[in-house]
Structure 1
Amino acid sequence: MTGPSSHAVFDGHNDTLLRLIEKVTNDAVGDFIGGDGLGHIDLPRAIRGGLRGAIFACYSPSPRHGAGFSGSMSGTRYDLPLPPPLDPEAARGYVIRMISLMLRIERASAGAVKICRTAGEIRETMARGALAAVLHIEGAEAIDPELRMLDVLHAAGLRSLGPVWSRPTVFGHGVPFRFPSGPDIGPGLTPAGKALVARCNELRILLDLSHLNAAGFDDVARLSNAPLVATHSNAHAVCPHARNLTDAQLDAIRASGGLVGLNFATAFLRPDGQMDEATGVDVMLRHLDHLIAVAGEDHVGLGSDFDGAEVPQAIGDAAGLPVLVRAMRDHGYGEALLAKICSGNWLRVLERTLGG
């Protein structure tokens, strides 16, 4: 439980729903609520770690690629081939299964988990010690170019969306898993992608810039009237990975009143780009220092990528979040800054974006 020496956490990204639907023994609802001890997040570990709010991603994996590329991020240089565009019908199947799972978790949780559609609902849910869940799609393959499915998903509770997960979609192009590399790779948003930005603004759906390439980032910055948000990205100046943000992108996030969420994935943390759980919390602090110096202390939060990547062993899972909070405090971050990074900045940006 959180107390005077701790802070409630809002986390900008996890892949827990994919982990749950891929389990061989599938009592996913009971496993999440009761705690299966697998992966990074279930309800008991969230409670122990002070995790009171999170953006839950619906990510549709490519055939034969599983949930990610963690085991391939090694060597002094790498450039992992991206899978081809995903079949929209397959993507819709995954998204429907994951949203259905979260709806069933909410119903079975007796109020301990709530799918939130406004910032006011998030604040109220976190304040009473329950888990506020925001539904997100990572990679918009499930959405048709005419955006009809977007209306349906919004009605089901969708409030956050990433136009791409690295592989190309009808909306735009992502960055590869390449090290060392910058994000200036390929063309920007397609006409359908530009229409998607406008419709998300109308529906007050957060647009996630993580995984989007530099040209696409710039297109969103030019077209969107909402704060620019990269839910789970790090500082390119510390780790020169294509997935990380340049100082110019951090400047744009600051200017828009947006936010970047620190990604715990070790390949995006380590200066050598390696996915290795034997990574110290000190490198996370190096990223936070840089993100704060460039984007500003009002524009930095957490975006763990729990259940989607290897994270530092010292943290381990959601129950280990107080390790990072203590490290930030020991590093010299005051309580006011800790409150901003842990949840305050996220709540401010979500209020501007979602309303309520």
Structure 2
Amino acid sequence: MGINGRRPWPRFAGSNHGRNPVKISLFVLSLSIAAAPAAAQSLAIDPHVDLPKSAAAPGWSGKTDPTSQFDLDRARAGGLAAAAIALFVPQGTRDASTLAKAQAELRARDGAIHAIVERNPALAVFARSPADVRHAAASGKFAVIESFLNAWPLGNDLDQFDYWYGRGVRILGFVHAGNNQFADSSRPALQFGDTPGENGGLSPLGKAAVRRLNDLGVLIDVSQLSDAAFDQVLALSRAPVIASHSDVRGLVDNSRNLSDGQLDALKARGGVVAINAFSAYLRARSPETLAAVAALQREYGLKPGGAALSLGKQAEYDQRYHDIVGKEPRAGVADLVNAVDYAVKRIGIDHVALSSDFNHGGGVEGWADVGEGGNVTAELKRRGYSAGDIDKLWSGNVLRVWQAALDARDPAYRRAASRR
């Protein structure tokens, strides 16, 4: 059975593989008539998945990859119908040489995302709208949505947003771990010499980028932003936004998590928070771990606005940091649903979704890869969530907020852009 407690999606359009053709026709019809997100029957969408390291290998296709938490085979088995796969390059020092390397890596990773579709045409399609996702499900194919996290490699050129929109990007977050030229991060990178709040939230370039993304119809992702940048995006955006991989500060006091005030603001603007299966944001780290991290930072002389570490020291620090935090016990599905419960109680079922952050630290006991999503559904059912509630959490709310971003785009801007 799949994520929603129903059968996984069919193999592909036009092939019954021994199944009753009448039943398959009825299944496809039930999907095709799902005009409203609330009626998104048998759809499950993960709005934030990363590429695995193996995606850099020649010939990688994403079909079968035991080294990854995501592949098409396990997505089919687990009933996952679509995923936003992040075009992501980690933040680096803000110099021309490092930026050029990041831009080359960005192009390579974009190629890997497109390869999932190009090398599996019978299994997957590219989705550029909620309608595309529904059509893919009706035809029995997995929908690949391209998202973008950390706009640093785009430089200072707003037209880069147009280029990547043309490549298929439909969800975009400005920052990751570290400030950049667009915005401040909830986690300034001390190893790069970041100063908290150096942009005052959004920079002038970041504010202009909000308008450009609205004009294009791209859904803005507010996960990872500093509190000030989060507030400014919501104030400036004429479309609702998504926090595609965030948890709640009311349970774990971490700057990466959303405060009650931020949750309330997200609801007021019609937005959605996708509760994230990232252990460190679902279970508070022990005092011993926090003390060890603080000692490590002192050892490397890390402080706000301090000198950036050399590349070798950055890699060494990163390895030692992850060795420390990796000893913490992992959260489980119950912890994930605790955060869902908190968010639903605070802002209502229509503003909450689910995400994994697979291949970049995500995954909890019981939902360790895309094949195990049914365990999340089972826990939701155990706590009394209805079938309609679960459909909203797995897909309906994401589709709604994405459609709202598309509806808010400026058609006049698109016509002008096409004449460039």
- Verify same fold: TM over 0.5: yes
Q: Choose which of 35, 52, 58 in structure 1 pairs with 2:81.
A: 52
Say whether residues 1:172 and 2:183 are aligned partners.
Answer: yes
In 2, the alpha carbon distance for the partners of 1:177 and 1:235 equals 19
Deviations 1:53-83 (A, max 9, x none): 1111011135xxxxxxxxxxxxxxxxxxxx6
Checking the alignment, whether the CA contact within 8 Å between 2:356 and 2:362 is kept in structure 1 is no
Q: Residue 308 of structure 2 corresponds to which residue in structure 1? A: none
In 2, the alpha carbon distance for the partners of 1:277 and 1:113 equals 35
Bigger proportion of residues as helix = 2
Paired amino acid for 1:48: A
Q: Residue 60 of structure 2 corresponds to which residue in structure 1? A: 28
| Structure 2 SS opposite 1:262 | strand
| Structure 2 SS opposite 1:142 | helix
- After TM superposition, the structure 1 = structure 2 runs for residues 284-303 of structure 1, keeping only pairs within 5 Å, are 284-303=336-355
Q: Deviation of residue 147 (structure 1)?
A: 1.1
Checking the alignment, whether the CA contact within 8 Å between 2:272 and 2:398 is kept in structure 1 is yes
**Segments of 4+ moved more than 4 angstroms:** 273-277
Q: Residue 214 of structure 1 corresponds to which residue in structure 2? A: 227
Paired amino acid for 1:57: A
Q: Deviation of residue 263 (structure 1)?
A: 0.7
In 2, the alpha carbon distance for the partners of 1:55 and 1:4 equals 19
Checking the alignment, whether the CA contact within 8 Å between 2:60 and 2:115 is kept in structure 1 is no
Q: Choose which of 361, 378, 399 in structure 2 pairs with 1:309.
A: 361
Q: Residue 70 of structure 1 corresponds to which residue in structure 2? A: none
| Structure 2 SS opposite 1:298 | helix
- After TM superposition, the structure 1 = structure 2 runs for residues 312-327 of structure 1, keeping only pairs within 5 Å, are 312-327=364-379
Taking structure 1 as the reference length, the TM-score comes to 0.85
In 2, the alpha carbon distance for the partners of 1:145 and 1:127 equals 40
Q: Describe the shift of the 1:150–1:248 C-alpha distance in structure 2 as closer, same or farther (beyond 3 A).
A: same
Q: Deviation of residue 126 (structure 1)?
A: 2.4
Q: Deviation of residue 255 (structure 1)?
A: 0.7
Q: Residue 69 of structure 1 corresponds to which residue in structure 2? A: none
Taking structure 2 as the reference length, the TM-score comes to 0.73
Paired amino acid for 1:11: D
Checking the alignment, whether the CA contact within 8 Å between 2:117 and 2:144 is kept in structure 1 is no
Q: Residue 249 of structure 1 corresponds to which residue in structure 2? A: 262
Checking the alignment, whether the CA contact within 8 Å between 1:177 and 1:242 is kept in structure 2 is no
Paired amino acid for 1:337: D
- After TM superposition, the structure 1 = structure 2 runs for residues 131-150 of structure 1, keeping only pairs within 5 Å, are 131-150=142-161
Q: Describe the shift of the 1:108–1:240 C-alpha distance in structure 2 as closer, same or farther (beyond 3 A).
A: same
Q: Residue 14 of structure 1 corresponds to which residue in structure 2? A: 49
**For the pair shown, which has the larger CA radius of gyration, 1 or 2?**
2
| Structure 2 SS opposite 1:56 | strand
- After TM superposition, the structure 1 = structure 2 runs for residues 228-243 of structure 1, keeping only pairs within 5 Å, are 228-243=241-256
Q: Residue 5 of structure 1 corresponds to which residue in structure 2? A: 5
Q: Deviation of residue 172 (structure 1)?
A: 0.8
Checking the alignment, whether the CA contact within 8 Å between 1:159 and 1:354 is kept in structure 2 is no
| Structure 2 SS opposite 1:155 | helix
Say whether residues 1:91 and 2:120 are aligned partners.
Answer: no
In 1, the alpha carbon distance for the partners of 2:99 and 2:152 equals 5
RMSD over aligned Cα, in angstroms? 2.1
Q: Describe the shift of the 1:114–1:239 C-alpha distance in structure 2 as closer, same or farther (beyond 3 A).
A: same
Q: Deviation of residue 287 (structure 1)?
A: 0.3
Say whether residues 1:282 and 2:282 are aligned partners.
Answer: no
Deviations 1:237-263 (A, max 9, x none): 011111000010000110111100111
